């Protein structure tokens, strides 16, 4: 592997990364933006290959890593490529020969990767990818937050983070989950809202990260055993390959749960596939969503104690049994889904569809509220009105989704009497 030469006279270029240059000996409290926190977490997992193409709002994660490689702190190949399709292809191939690989993208970059995303799953490579969730460009270009990643996953694992601490932890958790499940894992935070916000977080000692992410590559190059990867097959073979993957995916949620436990023991931060807040409330109603909005709702709930919150961390595989159990145990009657994505085809968007599918056997009443597209802030106003609208819901008839916080005309907000 070639390492870029250190350029004389250029000192540290990415200031917030300096914490990661020395060994982190004990849990260290600090504050930084989500992207640098991820770059730091990835540094601690000691990747062999980093290959990504810059795109807003993901950029500083890779920028931070280029610095630790450039300065010699990390002995990794930092590979510049010409596009996201090249980045994911290179990364998948590198992981397929046993390297620990990190890549990152967002929005149009994710779409450009689409051609090669399924093969990372097909070949069972333990690759990790950060996504700074950002709208894809239609009908306008937007660099701000929406959930483009829910659009399609091709069988990748996916965990979603609420804040900077969680996205830092997810950088490490994803390596653990990928290595154990032999499926690629993407971890997502909301673009700008988390990628560019400075928040408090506690760093994990290097030694602990090393223990959590031991390097035992299960893919290797063996010149004595040559083979063709991904060659063409006739209809006589293809379905068996797909079903084989489906079987292999079954234990992944269990692996995730165990990984969260192991991580909790080592760091004191307890995560789960799904987390719940105040579910035994008087209205038997709960919000269900993912990512940064969970924090907004928790703040809002300090004054709104009659609703609960279900926060989905593991988005793929979707923990449908866990969700059913939670709804049953707490006797919940209504769920208010908040989703930063839409479908345009009269269907619930993907996150809401997942929930509706999981809860179909229970008949839980639900409505999906489409919010926060293209970086529009989601505030107490949206929570208030969603809660109010849900009070009137008595059945599953009529449209199951509506946009919230959108101007209908210059002086009117859709669905809001002012």
Distances (CA, A) of 400 to 337, 357, 367, 389: 10, 13, 5, 12
Q: Residues 6 or more apart from 398 whose CB is under 8 A from it?
A: none
**Residue 321 beta carbon to other proteins: minimum distance, rounded to whole angstroms:** 28
Main-chain dihedrals φ then ψ at residue 59, nearest 5 degrees: -55, -45
Nearer to other proteins, 86 or 298 (CB): 298
**Residue 408 beta carbon to other proteins: minimum distance, rounded to whole angstroms:** 5
Nearer to other proteins, 179 or 339 (CB): 339
Q: How far apart are CA 62 and CA 103, in angstroms?
A: 8
Query: To which residue do tokens 């529009």 refer?
Result: 376
Nearer to other proteins, 281 or 296 (CB): 296
Instruction: Give the three-class secondary structure for 158.
Output: strand
Nearer to other proteins, 6 or 305 (CB): 305
Instruction: Give the three-class secondary structure for 220.
Output: coil
Tokens of 146: 């929406």
Report which of 396, 276, 372 is spatially closest to residue 332, judged by C-alpha positions.
276
Spatial strand order of the sheet with 308-312 comes to 274-277, 308-312, 285-289, 334-339, 365-370, 401-403
**Residue 139 beta carbon to other proteins: minimum distance, rounded to whole angstroms:** 3
Instruction: Give the three-class secondary structure for 344.
Output: coil
**Could you please report the per-residue DSSP string of 294-324?**
HHHHHHHHTS-TT-EEEEE-EEES--HHHHH
Q: How far apart are CA 259 and CA 106, in angstroms?
A: 26
Nearer to other proteins, 266 or 416 (CB): 416
Please give the radius of gyration of the chain, using alpha carbons only, rounded to the nearest integer. Answer: 22
Nearer to other proteins, 58 or 161 (CB): 161
Tokens of 318: 């979707």
Tokens of 241: 């390959």
Residue 253 burial (C-beta neighbours within 10 Å; 0-12, 13-18, 19+)? buried
Contact in structure between 121 and 154 (CB atoms under 8 Å): yes
Contact in structure between 339 and 160 (CB atoms under 8 Å): no
Nearer to other proteins, 20 or 102 (CB): 20
- Nearest 5°: CA angle at 299, between 269 and 262? 10
Nearer to other proteins, 139 or 226 (CB): 139
**Residue 296 beta carbon to other proteins: minimum distance, rounded to whole angstroms:** 5
Nearer to other proteins, 12 or 233 (CB): 12
**Residue 315 beta carbon to other proteins: minimum distance, rounded to whole angstroms:** 18
Residues of this chain that interact with other proteins (CB under 8 A) are 138-140, 162-163, 190, 193-194, 197, 292-293, 295-296, 298-302, 376-381, 405-414, 416, 418
Nearer to other proteins, 152 or 304 (CB): 304
């Amino acid at each position: 592997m070639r390492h870029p030469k250190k350029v004389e006279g250029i000192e540290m270029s990415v200031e917030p990364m300096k914490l990661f240059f020395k060994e982190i000996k004990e849990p260290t409290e600090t504050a930084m933006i989500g992207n640098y926190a991820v770059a730091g977490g990835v540094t601690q997992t000691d990747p062999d290959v980093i290959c990504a193409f810059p795109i807003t709002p993901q950029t500083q994660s890779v920028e931070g890593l280029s610095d630790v490689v450039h300065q010699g702190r990390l002995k990794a190949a930092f590979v510049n490529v010409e596009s996201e399709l090249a980045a994911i292809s290179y990364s998948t191939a590198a992981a397929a020969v046993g390297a620990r690989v990190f890549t990152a993208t967002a929005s149009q970059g994710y779409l450009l990767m689409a051609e090669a995303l399924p093969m990372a799953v097909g070949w069972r490579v333990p690759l990790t990818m950060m996504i700074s969730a950002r709208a894809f460009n239609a009908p306008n270009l937007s660099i701000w937050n929406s959930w483009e990643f829910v659009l399609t996953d091709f069988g990748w694992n996916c965990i979603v983070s609420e804040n900077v601490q969680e996205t830092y932890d997810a950088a490490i958790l994803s390596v653990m989950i990928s290595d154990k499940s032999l499926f690629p894992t993407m971890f997502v935070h909301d673009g700008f809202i988390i990628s560019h916000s400075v928040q408090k977080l506690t760093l994990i000692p290097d030694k602990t990260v090393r223990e959590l992410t031991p390097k035992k590559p299960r893919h290797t190059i063996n010149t004595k055993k040559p083979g063709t990867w991904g060659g063409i097959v006739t209809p006589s073979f293809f379905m068996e390959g797909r079903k084989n993957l489906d079987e292999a995916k079954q234990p992944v949620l269990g692996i995730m749960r165990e990984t969260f436990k192991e991580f909790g023991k080592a760091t004191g931060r307890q995560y789960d596939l799904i987390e719940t807040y105040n579910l035994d409330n008087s209205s038997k109603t709960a919000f269900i969503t993912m990512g940064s909005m969970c924090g907004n709702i928790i703040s809002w709930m300090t004054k709104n104690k009659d609703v609960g919150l279900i926060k989905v961390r593991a988005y793929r595989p979707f923990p449908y049994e866990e969700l059913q159990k939670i709804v049953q145990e707490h006797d919940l009657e209504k769920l208010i889904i908040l989703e930063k994505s839409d479908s345009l085809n009269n269907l619930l968007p993907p996150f809401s569809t997942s929930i509706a599918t999981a809860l179909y056997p229970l008949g839980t009443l639900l409505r999906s509220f489409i919010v926060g597209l293209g970086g529009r802030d989601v505030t107490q106003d949206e929570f208030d009105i969603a809660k109010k609208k849900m009070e009137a819901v008595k059945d599953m008839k009529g449209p199951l989704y509506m946009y919230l916080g959108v101007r209908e005309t210059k002086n009117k907000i859709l669905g809001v009497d002012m």
